[in-house]
Amino acid sequence: MSTETQANAEHHAHEEHHHEETFITKYIFSQDHKMISKQFLLTGMFMAVIGMIMSTLFRMQLGWQGESFKVFSWLLGDRWAPDGVMDSNIYLALVTIHGTIMVFFLLTAGLSGTFANFLIPLQIGARDMASGFLNMLSYWFFFLSSCIMFGSIFIETGPASGGWTIYPPLSALPEAMPGSGLGMTLWLLSMTLFVVSSLLGGLNYVVTIINLRTKGMSMLRLPLSIWALFVTAILGVLSFPVLVSAVLLLMADRLLGTSFYLSDIFINGQVLDFHGGSPILYEHLFWFLGHPEVYIVLLPALGLSSEIIATNSRKPIFGYRAMVGSILAIGFLSFIVWGHHMFMTGMNPFLGAVFTFTTLLIAIPSAVKAFNYITTLWKGNIVYTPAMLFAVAMVSTFVTGGVTGIILADSALDIAIHDTLFVTAHFHVVMGLSSVMAMFGGVYHWFPKMYGRMMNTKLGYAHFWLTFVAAYGVFFPMHFTGIMGVPRRYYTNSEFPMFDAALPLDLIISMFAILGAFAQVIFFFNFFYSIFRGQKAIQNPWRANTLEWTTPVIPGHGNWPGELPVVHRWAYDYSKPGKPEDFVVQTVPLEDGEEDGGGH
């Protein structure tokens, strides 16, 4: 490593070649990947708060069904909560927007947007993304999309309410529910812009990883975070256009009177003028994106955790090639399993059997990943930074949520548990929690590189344990209500005496949900406080090997002052025998006769 002073001198020399930056070009219309990354992070966090408040509200309704709350009156107003009792339409709206925000705005744009933008150039040794301009556009499309989604909450007929999957005809017919009016149009508009953002970002990530790797950074020396973000971007680029087509056809049905998804429908006392369409077509198009989407949410989480776990176990990640192989296998398989969401649509049962088969195959690479993480911990020297706590938690939720997928993937078993809270529990644990855990981990881990300061460790501990306990507390009992047969998207289950046994569990779940929401206050305090007043960071606080830690504490425009680093080894030389320290940065040349660790 070059010494600090030298680096700084070079840095200043380098900066003079750049034109002066104004506040606007630096903080707002920035083309610097690090600034864009922070913009994604802050926007994602803002949306996540909205999504979380929504979940707290509808969980309060489910915990104390039909009771009156002051908060409901304050936040929802008289129209949606007369006398403080939540209306069933707004319940569905809250669930819908909560799901949409969490899946797309937090865990797609927020997660990939933050970490792909931040880590790709820094970890592959590039000055910036392939196209800074497209990257900037990507953020602004996302921003616009977020504004529209956020705005749609406040319109008179309420936001979209047909579930985050917005199946027609419910979502196509304004007469079917209030949320299918203007709210749905705004949802569709917002999602179209969202996809544009996602495509611009994704293409940029793929091109950057393929073309801009620094000297010596072969594909098999890439950190697993980059592999995961790479495959994620490819999945997005291949599947999001299908969502756009689904959305545009739905728009056409709504606004132009076409019949892609609609046929014989009688509603509000009259037959509608649609002929020959099929709502099942929509489901196919939606899930052709929808399933890869859950891996778009999950893979970055697996990638970030790989870095955090190897670094803090002070051990090489176990089975690097198998990890890369399983990311690729999961990525590929995710395109041929979408039918497992549609077993109950009356689809050909033979096809159902095929989808059961392909879906269960995904369990194999997933198992390999889980075991490899655990073996990485084995005989390690684990350092519990807050990031490490979150990464280990991710392994736990990934396993706990993954195994219930085996049950849901079985078309035969799906008959009685499809669309129950068992499904809600399953996907929250495997996708929602895993990914949220890893995202928190990523923020704690890379915060010093983002802001040049440290987050408070003790607050990080408190935040972690409260969040993790609440997470299991919410979603673990939910499996049991699901097995009872309580359907998801039910405003209340007290209309059915047979679900009375679920009410005590509903109460527990809601308590933990409230606890979890409050726990996030600690995080937000820590985050914002540390940006301004946190302890000043050092160059490589976690003693990690990857290239981002060879930049100055706060990397400037272009990331490395002077020459780009040259890579000589894989990213996981932790505790390599015969080395002076327990880590060897990727830029350190191999000694005579030394083997590079990644190869077999």
Partner 1 sequence: MISLLTYAVIILGIIAIVQLARVFELTGELKGRKEWEISEKDNSTQANLWLWFGIILFILFGWLVVEYGDSAQPNGSLHGVAYDNLLMVNFAIVVFVFLLVNAVLFYFAWKYKRDANRVPEYFTHSTKLEMIWTIVPSIVMAGIIIYGILFWYETIMTKPSEDAIAIELYSKQFDWTARYGGKDNQVGSANVRLIEGANFLGIDVEDPSSKDDIIIKGEFHIPVNKEISFQLRSQDVLHGAYMPNFRMQINTVPGQMTRFHFTPNKTTKQQREELDNPDFHYVLLCNKICGSAHYNMQMNIIVETEEEYNKWLGEQQDFMAQVPELFENNNEKLMAEKK
Residues 426-485 that bind ligand HEM (CB under 6 A): 428, 431-432, 436, 474
Q: Is 68 helix (H, G, I), strand (E, B) or coil?
A: strand
Number of residues assigned to the chain: 600
The amino acid occupying position 152 is S
Q: Is 423 in the site for partner 1 (CB under 8 A)?
A: no
Choose the one of Cu ion, ligand HEM, partner 1, none that binds residue 242, judging by a C-beta under 5 to 8 angstroms depending on kind: none
| Residue 436 or 537 with smaller CB distance to ligand HEM | 436
Write the binding mask 375 to 394 for partner 1: x where contact by CB under 8 A, - elsewhere: x-xxxxxxxxx---x--x--
| Residue 141 or 261 with smaller CB distance to partner 1 | 261
The amino acid occupying position 393 is A
Q: Is 134 in the site for partner 1 (CB under 8 A)?
A: no
Asked if 557 and 35 count as a contact pair (C-beta separation under 8 A), the reply is no
Q: Is 488 in the site for ligand HEM (CB under 6 A)?
A: yes
Q: According to CB under 8 A, which one of 53, 220, 459, 554 is a site residue for partner 1?
A: 459
| Residue 130 or 519 with smaller CB distance to ligand HEM | 519
Asked if 527 and 444 count as a contact pair (C-beta separation under 8 A), the reply is no
| CB 344, min distance to ligand HEM, A | 15
Q: Is 197 in the site for ligand HEM (CB under 6 A)?
A: no
Write the binding mask 475 to 494 for partner 1: x where contact by CB under 8 A, - elsewhere: -xx--x--xxx-x-xxxxx-
| Residue 489 or 543 with smaller CB distance to ligand HEM | 489
The amino acid occupying position 159 is P
Q: According to CB under 8 A, which one of 245, 457, 554, 564 is a site residue for partner 1?
A: 457
One DSSP character per residue, 331-371 reads HHHGGG-GGGG-GGGT--HHHHHHHHHHHHHTHHHHHHHHH
Asked if 124 and 214 count as a contact pair (C-beta separation under 8 A), the reply is yes
| CB 19, min distance to partner 1, A | 35
Q: Is 10 in the site for partner 1 (CB under 8 A)?
A: no
Q: Is 418 in the site for Cu ion (CB under 5 A)?
A: no
Choose the one of partner 1, Cu ion, ligand HEM, none that binds residue 593, judging by a C-beta under 5 to 8 angstroms depending on kind: none
Q: Which residue carries 């005590």 as its tokens?
A: 504
- Alpha-carbon span 505 to 218, nearest angstrom: 52
Q: Is 52 in the site for ligand HEM (CB under 6 A)?
A: yes
With a CB cutoff of 8 Å and minimum separation 6, the contacts of 324 are 220, 224, 227
Choose the one of partner 1, Cu ion, ligand HEM, none that binds residue 266, judging by a C-beta under 5 to 8 angstroms depending on kind: partner 1
Q: According to CB under 8 A, which one of 534, 555, 561, 565 is a site residue for partner 1?
A: 534
| Residue 300 or 380 with smaller CB distance to partner 1 | 380
Nearest one of 240, 261, 235, 61 to 166, comparing CA atoms: 261
For residues 147-206, which are near partner 1 according to CB under 8 A? 162-163, 167-170, 173, 176-178
For residues 129-188, which are near ligand HEM according to CB under 6 A? 163-164
Q: Which residues of 55-81 are buried (b: 16+ CB within 10 A; e: fewer)?
A: bbbbbbbbbebeeebeebbeebeeebb
- Residues facing residue 349 across a β-bridge: none
Q: Is 112 in the site for ligand HEM (CB under 6 A)?
A: no
For residues 224-283, which are near ligand HEM according to CB under 6 A? none
Q: Is 576 in the site for partner 1 (CB under 8 A)?
A: yes
Helix pair 224-255, 182-211: axis angle to 10 deg: 150
- Alpha-carbon span 460 to 462, nearest angstrom: 5
Tokens of 509: 């779940």
Distances (CA, A) of 222 to 112, 128, 237, 307: 17, 17, 21, 11
**How many CB atoms within 10 Å of residue 292?**
26
Tokens of 213: 């790797």
Q: Is 102 in the site for ligand HEM (CB under 6 A)?
A: yes
Choose the one of ligand HEM, Cu ion, partner 1, none that binds residue 207, judging by a C-beta under 5 to 8 angstroms depending on kind: none
Asked if 525 and 539 count as a contact pair (C-beta separation under 8 A), the reply is no
Tokens of 166: 């917005």
- Alpha-carbon span 321 to 298, nearest angstrom: 19
Q: Is 291 in the site for Cu ion (CB under 5 A)?
A: yes
- Alpha-carbon span 582 to 600, nearest angstrom: 22
| CB 267, min distance to partner 1, A | 4
The region of 12-20, 29-37, 364-372, 559-567 touching partner 1 under the rule CB under 8 A is 364-372
Q: Is 28 in the site for partner 1 (CB under 8 A)?
A: no
| CB 529, min distance to ligand HEM, A | 22
Q: Is 451 in the site for partner 1 (CB under 8 A)?
A: no
Residue 538 phi, psi (nearest 5): -105, 180
Binding site for ligand HEM (CB under 6 A): 52, 55, 59, 95-96, 98-99, 102-103, 107, 163-164, 424, 428, 431-432, 436, 474, 488-490, 513, 516
Binding site for Cu ion (CB under 5 A): 291
